[in-house]
């Protein structure tokens, strides 16, 4: 079995703990990808010390030159797209079409970051005094700790690492335990593209040990975290106590609303993709389908027909539409929620079990599942499941649909299918989410727009687009007075 290493202080090294964990293919658990380090605080200490050295030089590298490295990263990702997609599907399970999309998102983010190295805009504004300039500009912050989830093994690390690096920070990256191979491939590419070795440190391991040590390390100035709301709360408490800059992207319970006047063909394709793409393991996955009564029965019946035909299987086979769940704990969580749904009196109309086909017995498969007559306010309707389970809720009016959309603790994504332009624009302002799609599913964010959610989904920062560059840099203001005399702002220019 292949043994993988951390990348610390410019070298691929074994963990100080001497401990490792196994990484297996979720589509076939007899397929072992390798052993990866179970790092401890000592590994994190060494990584932070090296990153601090790296930061001192990298912050003085001109931002356009930092961007040039990311352009080469984009080129390498483009060349290796197929290879990375394949290794990502092997360890994460989602179909190749989706892991190719995951790599493409990294490519888009790299080229965006490369150009941003030539912008990193500040403002120059007039001073209220004569012979004086006033301007704001961006400064690097320090060592950035990046903690990422399993579901976008490449894209999410790129959303964080590229802006962090272009802004002049050094990075310590801890990938999720289930996707360390993609994390390793990512760091190899950064190094091959010419990133100075001490500017990137890769520390594998358990969240509660290695992740915790990064968050608690006084030498790590900022943390960018994506994962569950429960873990985000723990990370947030530590960062609050230590006055660290923190970006949190957390859970979701996203709804697709379909009104009576909608194009049902479009709405049907949207919900199939939104609910069962990535086996429901997207933070933006469609977990609730809110149907207006006039189209409820027709859309539900067509949806059931199509869902029963979805092809479950190994994501590395091109015909596969739905892959396995990430691990046994994730599958057991789905099973618990199916039991909860049944106990709450919802109608289980399809799925609700592990597949009977023996060929799938070696993977963490679960059949795409639909509950109808789900009550607003029930646990099935309120809590994040992160699996292929869709709850259908019947409503009479758009207002009722909007209220149900908003009445959950999360606020990441929402979707509305209608031909009524007035209702569509009302949704853009009234739905409490970071993203609202009109006539498109709840999933499908583009790399050059801000991404994130409200309420228990986020803490006000955004990834993607131009906004993430504000998170990874500090605004500083400079005044230059060339009048040759003391000028007192607010006083000399407003004599009484
Ligand atoms: P998770 O919270 O279990 O783990 C996320 C990361 O945090 C992992 O790297 C893990 O090792 C680490 N971690 C765990 N405990 C930690 C601790 N005490 N201190 C520091 N780090 C720790 O999440 P997951 O199961 O990998 O991902 C699924 C969750 O992520 C879902 O809730 C999903 O909605 C969310 N997610 C959100 C977004 C978004 O942008 N809003 C995107 C993708 C996934």
Helix axis angle for 155-166 and 180-192, nearest 10°, is 30
Question: Which ligand 1 atom is the nearest neighbour of the CA of 228?
Answer: 32
Task: Evaluate: CB of 144 within 6 angstroms of ligand 1.
Answer: no
Question: Which ligand 1 atom is the nearest neighbour of the CA of 227?
Answer: 30
What's the pLDDT at 391?
Answer: 99
Dist. CA 70 → ligand 1 center (Å): 26
Closest CA to 153 of 1, 299, 326, 275: 326
Task: Evaluate: CB of 208 within 6 angstroms of ligand 1.
Answer: yes
Dist. CA 218 → ligand 1 center (Å): 22
Q: Could you tell me the end-to-end alpha-carbon distance of the chain, in angstroms, rounded to an integer?
A: 82
488 backbone dihedrals φ, ψ, rounded to 5° = -100, 115
> Ligand 1 test: best mutation among 225, 228, 233, 471, most atoms within 8 Å of CB?
228
Cross-strand bridge partners of residue 289: 256, 392
pLDDT in tens, 60-82: 999 999 999 999 999 999 999 99
Dist. CA 387 → ligand 1 center (Å): 15
79 catalytically annotated: no
- Where b means 16+ CB within 10 Å and e means fewer, 322-344 reads bbbbbbeebbebbbebbeebeeb
> Ligand 1 test: best mutation among 178, 231, 253, most atoms within 8 Å of CB?
231
Dist. CA 43 → ligand 1 center (Å): 21
Task: Evaluate: CB of 23 within 6 angstroms of ligand 1.
Answer: no
Dist. CA 228 → ligand 1 center (Å): 4
- Where b means 16+ CB within 10 Å and e means fewer, 165-192 reads bbbbbbbbbbbbbbbbbbbbbbbebbbe
Question: Which ligand 1 atom is the nearest neighbour of the CA of 150?
Answer: 26
Please tell me which residue in 105, 177, 249, 381 is annotated as part of the active site: 249
174 backbone dihedrals φ, ψ, rounded to 5° = -120, 105
State which residues of the chain have pLDDT below 50: none
Cross-strand bridge partners of residue 171: 144, 200
Pairing of strands 435-438, 413-417: parallel
Please tell me which residue in 167, 239, 283, 350 is annotated as part of the active site: 283
For the chain, list the domains and their CATH numbers. 6-250+458-478 (3.40.605.10), 254-438 (3.40.309.10)
Task: Evaluate: CB of 39 within 6 angstroms of ligand 1.
Answer: no
344 catalytically annotated: no
What's the pLDDT at 359?
Answer: 75
> Ligand 1 test: best mutation among 37, 149, 236, 337, most atoms within 8 Å of CB?
149
Dist. CA 183 → ligand 1 center (Å): 15
What's the pLDDT at 356?
Answer: 83
As a whole number of Å, the CA-based R_g of the chain is: 24
Task: Evaluate: CB of 287 within 6 angstroms of ligand 1.
Answer: no
Q: What secondary structure letter does DSSP report for 466?
A: T
């Amino acid at each position: 079995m292949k043994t993988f290493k951390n990348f610390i202080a410019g070298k691929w090294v074994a963990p100080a703990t001497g401990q490792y964990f196994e990484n297996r293919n979720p589509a076939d658990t007899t397929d072992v990808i390798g052993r990866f380090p179970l790092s401890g605080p000592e590994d994190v200490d060494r990584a932070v010390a090296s990153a601090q050295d790296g930061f001192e030089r990298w912050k003085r590298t001109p931002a356009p030159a930092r961007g040039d490295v990311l352009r080469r990263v984009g080129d390498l990702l483009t060349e290796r797209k197929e290879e990375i997609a394949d290794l990502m599907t092997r360890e994460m399970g989602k179909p190749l079409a989706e892991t190719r999309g995951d790599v493409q998102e990294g490519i888009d983010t790299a080229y965006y970051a490369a150009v941003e190295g030539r912008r990193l805009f500040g403002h120059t504004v007039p001073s209220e005094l004569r012979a004086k300039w006033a301007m704001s500009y961006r400064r690097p912050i320090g060592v950035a700790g990046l903690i990422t989830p399993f579901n976008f093994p490449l894209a999410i690390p790129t959303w964080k690492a590229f802006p962090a690096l272009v802004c002049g920070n050094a990075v310590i990256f801890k990938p999720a335990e289930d996707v360390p191979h993609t994390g390793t491939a990512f760091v190899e590419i950064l190094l091959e593209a010419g990133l100075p070795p001490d500017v990137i440190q890769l520390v594998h391991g358990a969240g509660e040990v290695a992740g915790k040590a990064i968050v608690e390390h006084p030498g790590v100035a900022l943390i960018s975290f994506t994962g569950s709301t429960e873990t985000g709360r723990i990370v947030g408490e530590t960062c609050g106590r230590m006055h660290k800059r923190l970006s949190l992207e957390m859970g979701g319970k996203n709804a697709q609303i379909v009104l009576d006047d909608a194009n049902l063909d479009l709405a049907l394709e949207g919900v199939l993709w939104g609910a069962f793409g990535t086996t429901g393991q997207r933070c933006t996955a469609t977990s609730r389908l809110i149907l207006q009564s006039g189209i409820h029965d027709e859309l539900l019946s067509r949806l059931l027909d199509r869902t029963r035909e979805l092809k479950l299987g190994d994501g590395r086979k091109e015909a596969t539409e739905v892959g396995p769940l990430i691990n046994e704990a994730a599958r057991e969580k789905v099973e618990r929620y199916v039991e909860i749904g049944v106990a709450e009196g919802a109608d289980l109309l399809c799925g609700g079990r592990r597949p009977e086909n023996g060929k799938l017995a070696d993977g963490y498969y679960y059949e795409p599942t639909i509950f109808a007559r789900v009550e607003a306010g029930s646990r099935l309707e309120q809590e994040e499941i992160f699996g292929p389970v869709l709850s259908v809720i019947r409503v009479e009016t758009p207002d009722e649909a909007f209220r149900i959309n908003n009445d959950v603790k999360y606020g990441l994504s929402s979707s509305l299918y209608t031909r009524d332009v007035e209702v569509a624009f009302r949704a853009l302002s009234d739905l409490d989410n970071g993203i609202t799609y009109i006539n498109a599913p709840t999933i499908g964010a583009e790399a050059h727009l801000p991404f994130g959610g409200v309420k228990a989904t986020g803490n006000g920062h955004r990834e993607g687009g131009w906004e993430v560059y504000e998170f990874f840099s500090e605004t500083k203001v400079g005044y230059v007075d060339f009048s040759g005399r003391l000028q007192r702002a607010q006083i000399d220019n407003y004599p009484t």
